[in-house]
Amino acid sequence: MTDKPVLLPDDSHPIAISPTGHRVVVTLGERMVADTTSALTLQEAGYPAVQYVPLRDVDAAVLVRSDRTTYCPYKGDASYYDLVVDGDTHAGAVWEYAAPYDAVAEIAGHVAFYPEVVDVRGYPGASA
């Protein structure tokens, strides 16, 4: 068994999680794959903000569990889903931290999407 480093967010690597506060829709081509008013915005260090969508608000018909896993010392072990739409498979396009570290516990039960695969749009006029 390997020991994985566990790091806490701090001033040199901040992580902030907050309710997005408006509707978020995720599409792949013409297909809507998620629609929620309960998204969370995760802002980590200098990276672009990521929308974490409750898994319950994602169309389960387009998700296929993948064997892919990765590790983040700030968030924990990530597992992945392939996104299958209209017969096309987008390998590892969706990820989740099923048991995230305490510092980011709010993202449990949520998934995120690679923006180069899907279109993630926010609708600020639609309140949560």
What are the residue boundaries of the structural domains of the chain, listed by start?
15-120
Average per-residue pLDDT for the chain = 95
pTM score of the predicted model: 0.94
**pLDDT-based confidence at residue 123 (cuts at 50, 70, 90):** confident
**For residues 29 and 84, what is the distance between their CA atoms, to the nearest angstrom?**
12
Would you place residue 3 in the very low, low, confident or very high pLDDT band (cuts 50, 70, 90)?
A: confident
Structure tokens at 108: 């449990």
CATH architecture, domain defined by 15-120: Beta Complex (2.170)
The encoded tokens of residue 46 equal: 């200098």
